[in-house]
Amino acid sequence: MSATSVLTYLEMRSSQDLQPCVTVTAKVDLEKQERYSPTIRDVTLLIGRRHDWPSQSWSELEWRRYLERPNLRHWLGTVGGNAIGLASLDFDPAGHVEIDTFGLLPQFQGRGLGGAFLAAVVHQAWLRDPLARRLWLHTSGQDHPHALKNYLARGFVIYRTDDAES
């Protein structure tokens, strides 16, 4: 029997909408990853395990197809040189940037780093594509319990919700 989870779609229409994280003093740096870096797969699997992300069961072919997407870029979030999470952005030529992957490694969850990491990622997205018309993403009830609150606190707004079989 499958459970129903709510998919929540969020967007940000301007770099001016980004709300910084003021509750965490740790500086989160972004380290760009090469397209085929094994770090992308390793970190995605570590993050997604708790949340049953679809990538948990991808074949080698599915991983290769994912990594070959021409507009997809990946950044490792670090604090003091230690990897804390991963973000992947898909830069659509039409000006829509999807936050395809965003998450913290399990050992860094619950420390308040998600807000600072998300703010750095959103800033990077607007910096990399200043002509972008919007940033968007989706989250579900299977993601970290604070995910939706973090997205809203950074300035994203909900534009759609759907029920999804999980």
Domain that holds residue 18: 4-165
Under a CB-based contact definition with an 8 Å cutoff, are residues 7 and 140 in contact? Answer: yes
CATH number of the domain residue 26 falls in: 3.40.630.30
Domain count of the fold of the chain: 1
pTM: 0.92
The 10s digit of each residue's pLDDT in 31-87 is: 999 999 999 999 999 999 988 888 999 999 999 999 999 999 999 999 999 999 999
Q: Which pLDDT tens digit goes with each residue over 99-108?
A: 999 999 999 9
